[in-house]
Structure 1
Amino acid sequence: MNEKENIQDENLEQNENNQEQETAQEQAAELSQEEILSNKLAEANDKYARLVAEFDNYKKRTSKERVELIQTAGQGVISKLLTVLDDFDRALNAMATAQDVESVKQGVELVNNKFRKILENEGLKEMNVVGEAFDADFQEAITAIPAPNEDMKNKVIDVVEKGYTLNEKVIRFAKVVIGQ
């Protein structure tokens, strides 16, 4: 029986060793799962940090572009108006030595027409409101006076300051006198 007991003892030891090995393997498997999860978490954190940095750079870049656009928005119009400025300089020089007032007047009218044409091409339109019904969306009533006739009631009788639209948007309301 000693031999049988020895064999049983060896089998018991072997079973215990097998169980310890299985436990060690399970712990190793659990550690590898923890390592895998921690690696995935580290990758996700890295991607998140890069995404936040990229978005921050995007915001800075678009903000900078917006500031540059605002600063240079009028450059095209101003470049076109430089010719009008040159014409005004020539008119002023001509007025200093001019003997004929009519030619100076015609020159100033030409410069005025050129100036207005450039502004019209850029989308600026003058409001012609005399005789039209008062519209608070386009006009600002300065005062009201008795209407000269019944047809002119609640209509614009006079314009104190012209109104303008830029690409169909009011940029300055016409200041008007209306009839009552």
Structure 2
Amino acid sequence: MKKPKPRADKGIDSDSADESRVDQEPDEIGESTHLDSLRHDLEVKTEESRTSQDKYLRLAAEFENYKRRAQRDQADAIKFANEKLIKDLLPTLDNLERAIQSAEEQKAIGPLLEGVALTYKQLLESLTKIGLQQVSSLGEAFDPAKHQAVAQVESDSAPPNTVVEEYQKGYFLHDRIVRPAMVTVAKQSTEHETDIHSE
């Protein structure tokens, strides 16, 4: 008679499986925590990298602006280096011009006048070569940026606020005003104002 085979103890197998699961769960939790930590570190480093890149771009832009300003300032310094010389020479230019006008008015055309006129012309040409330009005035609208009004006169022939006389020429050095022109400006005549009001 055969003896029955001993049955496996199910209780023991169940306990072993539970122990296996218990052993595995801490490992899985540890791996998950480690991944979370790595993910957090990656986010931090990404943000730091983005911040550093923004700072770099700002610094690069500021440097470019500084370089452009420095180049512009240097160019202006070279361009207007003769400004003081120009200002010192303008009275001489004025005196020569007045001498020519006075001689012409007195009909004293002669060698002296011709010499003065030639000197004036040569001086003006030399100054023009380094950037001097005369301010245009007569017949133009008054512009306080380049005109200095010393008087106003009533005029029926010129629109109000128009330059009708120039006492002293004004000058530019390149695009910068060195001296404004001294001018007389037209204003509306009293008779014209009366006619307008009477209508």
TM-score bracket relative to the smaller structure: 0.5 to 0.7
Partner residue of 1:24 out of 1, 8, 30: 30
Amino acid of the residue matched to residue 125 of structure 1? Q
Residue number in structure 2 paired with 1:45: 51
Residue number in structure 2 paired with 1:127: 136
Contact 1:139 1:175 in 2 (8 A): yes
Partner residue of 2:169 out of 139, 145, 162: 162
Contact 1:160 1:177 in 2 (8 A): no
Amino acid of the residue matched to residue 53 of structure 1? L
Change (3 A) 1:174 1:166: farther
The normalised TM-score by structure 2 is: 0.55
Partner residue of 2:62 out of 56, 61, 76: 56
RMSD: 4.0
Greater helix content: 1
Gaps spanning 5+ residues in structure 2: where?
1-6, 90-109, 190-199
1:175 and 2:183 matched: yes
Pair member with larger Rg: 2
Change (3 A) 1:178 1:162: farther
1:69-148 matches, within 5 Å, as: 69-75=75-81, 105-120=113-128, 122=131, 124-127=133-136, 129=138, 132=139, 135-137=141-143, 140-144=148-152
Amino acid of the residue matched to residue 14 of structure 1? S
Q: Percent identity?
A: 12
Give per-residue Cα distances to partners, 1:102-134, cap 9 Å, x unaligned.
6665444323213323555647234352xx4x7
Residues in 1 aligned to 2:47 and 2:65: alpha-carbon distance in whole angstroms: 27
Residue number in structure 1 paired with 2:103: none
1:11 offset after TM fit, Å?
0.2
Residues in 1 aligned to 2:153 and 2:61: alpha-carbon distance in whole angstroms: 60
Contact 2:170 2:182 in 1 (8 A): yes
Contact 1:163 1:175 in 2 (8 A): no
1:20 offset after TM fit, Å?
1.8
The normalised TM-score by structure 1 is: 0.60
1:18 offset after TM fit, Å?
2.0
7-16 or 167-176: bigger deviation: 167-176
1:8 offset after TM fit, Å?
1.0
Residues in 1 aligned to 2:159 and 2:115: alpha-carbon distance in whole angstroms: 41
Contact 1:126 1:165 in 2 (8 A): yes
109-118 or 156-165: bigger deviation: 156-165
Residues in 2 aligned to 1:37 and 1:146: alpha-carbon distance in whole angstroms: 79
